[in-house]
C-alpha cells in the first residue's frame, strides 16, 4: 500500500467513473491473486460481501459505516479469541508446571 496514490484514484473517479471501477476491480484481483488459493478464496468472499454492502448502502458514507462495523465485529471476535487462547495457555502452563513438580517428587 506504500505506492497507493490517493489523488490519482480520486481524480480518476471524478474524471471517468467507469475507468475507476475497472481499475479498482483489476487492482483488487491482483491483490487477491497474489495470495495462496485458500486465502484468496476467503479474500474473494470478503470482497463480495463488501461489494454487496457498498451497493446496498445507498451512499458512500453509509457504506463506510457498514464496512467499519464489520471490521469492528471481526476485531472484537479476534480479541475474544486471543483472550481465550491466553487463558488456555495459562492453564496449559500451570498443568505442565504441576507435572514437573510431580515428576521431581517421584
Span 87-104, pLDDT tens digits = 999 999 999 999 998 888
Structural domain includes residue 87: yes
**Total domains in the fold of the chain:** 1
Structural domain includes residue 78: yes
Q: Which domain holds residue 101?
A: 35-105
How far apart CA 96 and CA 100 sit, in angstroms, is 6
pTM exceeds 0.75, yes or no: no
How far apart CA 42 and CA 28 sit, in angstroms, is 13
40 close to 30: Cβ distance less than 8 angstroms: no
Structural domain includes residue 12: no
Structural domain includes residue 24: no
Structural domain includes residue 97: yes
Span 20-37, pLDDT tens digits = 999 999 999 999 999 999
Structural domain includes residue 4: no
Structural domain includes residue 29: no
Span 24-80, pLDDT tens digits = 999 999 999 999 999 999 999 999 999 999 999 999 899 999 999 999 999 999 999
Structural domain includes residue 23: no
- Inform me whether the pLDDT recorded for 106 exceeds 80: no
Amino acid at each position: 500500500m506504500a505506492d497507493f496514490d490517493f489523488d490519482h484514484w480520486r481524480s480518476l473517479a471524478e474524471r471517468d467513473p467507469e475507468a475507476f471501477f475497472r481499475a479498482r476491480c483489476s487492482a483488487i484481483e491482483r491483490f487477491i491473486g497474489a495470495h495462496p488459493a485458500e486465502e484468496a478464496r476467503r479474500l474473494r468472499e470478503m470482497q463480495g460481501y463488501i461489494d454487496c454492502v457498498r451497493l446496498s448502502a445507498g451512499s458512500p458514507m453509509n457504506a463506510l459505516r457498514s464496512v467499519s462495523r464489520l471490521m469492528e465485529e471481526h476485531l472484537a471476535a479476534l480479541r475474544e479469541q486471543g483472550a481465550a487462547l491466553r487463558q488456555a495457555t495459562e492453564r496449559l502452563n500451570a498443568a505442565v508446571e504441576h507435572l514437573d513438580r510431580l515428576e521431581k517428587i517421584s
